[in-house]
Amino acid sequence: MTLDEAFTALGMAPARVEHPPLRTVPDAHEYWDHLPGLGVKNLFIKDAGKQYWLVVLPADRSVDTKILAATIGAKRISFGSAEDLVRILGVEPGSVTPLAMINDADRQVRLVLDAGMMQAESVLVHPLVNTATLIMAPADLLRFLAHCGVTPAIVDLAPAFRAES
């Protein structure tokens, strides 16, 4: 099933904003700052037990990876490789999104969504490419994930956030 097929089946038509490729959060600010919603970033990680994780949190937060690992129940995390990202979630680095869970047919990735982020009126996510941004209500994101057979863990990641400088 494609992203568009899933949205059609759910009767969803999230607002879509086209833009040049955005590879980093600083790149995104130029295009996201005027949009209604919380920009998010996505960490594709792997733990010592070879479990893959996709952790989604507010774009402007950085995390202490040791505390993050403990918070989500992982051991010794590191970033997953670009090859694994493409093979499992079907997206290139810079295009990572919780919507990519649609491509994880073998359910190799555990999805974690920050609880605070889920309180936003809307979130800004890529539609499997980094040349556009979708504006989605968190409830619609959860409906989409359920349609794909994915039940994310909604976790308060705030203990892992680094103090802002």
Q: How confident is the model over 36-64, as a mean pLDDT?
A: 96
**Phi and psi dihedrals of 10, rounded to 5?**
-90, -5
Whole-structure pTM value: 0.95
- Confidence check: pLDDT of 165 > 60: no
pLDDT band at 33 (very low <50, low <70, confident <90, very high): confident
DSSP symbols for 96-153: --GGGGGG-TT--EEEEEETTGGGSS-EEE-SSSTTEEEEE-HHHHHHHHHHTT---E
Size (the chain), residues: 165
Residue 72 phi, psi dihedral angles, 5° rounding:
-95, -5
Asked whether residue 47 is domain-assigned, the answer is yes
Residue 9 lies in a domain: yes
Share of the chain above pLDDT 90, in %: 89
The range of the structural domain enclosing residue 33 comes to 3-160
133 occurs within a structural domain: yes
Per-residue model confidence as pLDDT tens digits over 110-153: 999 999 999 999 999 999 999 999 999 999 999 999 999 999 99
pLDDT tens digits, residue range 144-158? 999 999 999 999 999
Reported as a single tens digit per residue, the pLDDT across 61-88 is: 999 999 999 999 998 999 999 999 999 9
4-24 burial: b if 16+ Cβ within 10 Å, else e = eebbeeeebebeeeeeeebee
On whether residue 97 sits in a domain, the answer given is: yes
| Dihedral pair phi/psi, residue 46, rounded to 5° | -135, 140
Residue 30 — pLDDT band, cuts 50, 70, 90?
confident
129 is a domain residue: yes
Q: How many domains does the chain have?
A: 1
165 within domain boundaries: no
Output DSSP code: residue 161: B
Q: What is the CATH number of the domain that holds 128?
A: 3.90.960.10
Comparing CA positions, the residue from 120, 63, 83, 35 lying closest to residue 55 is 63
Label residue 143 exposed, middle or buried (CB < 10 Å: 0-12, 13-18, 19+). Answer: middle
Res. 25: pLDDT tops 90 = no
Q: What is the pLDDT of residue 96?
A: 96
Mutual angle of helices 138-147 and 3-10, in 10-degree steps: 110
Confidence label for 31 from pLDDT (cuts 50, 70 and 90): confident
Structure tokens at 13: 């038509």
* Domain assignment of residue 139, yes or no: yes
